[in-house]
Amino acid sequence: LDVPPEGFFPNKTPDELYSWPEREKDYITREGEYISAWSGELSPHSGDWSMFTGSEMKYTSVGQGQALPYLTGANDSLQRVCWTRLC
């Protein structure tokens, strides 16, 4: 989620906060296709990637051709997850 330089509430007025649900969609929607790949697969593009664990977001930076990382689970087991490239 890209934060604009002026922030989400540049005027610091209550109206900005109350109208946030209508304005929020402009920040969290994007055109085009998402690029996703699984842990262990080679990254088709360099850049920042993210995934949601169910309770928090995880982030990684990977170069093109590098393997996307596994997450470490209980008892240090490796968990295969699906990463999505951030644009």
Question: In this model, does residue 1 exceed pLDDT 60?
Answer: no
Task: State the CB neighbour count (10 A cutoff) for residue 84.
Answer: 13
Give me 47's structure tokens.
């850049």
User: What's the whole-number mean pLDDT along residues 53-68?
Assistant: 92
Question: In this model, does residue 75 exceed pLDDT 80?
Answer: yes
The pTM (predicted TM-score) of the whole model is 0.62
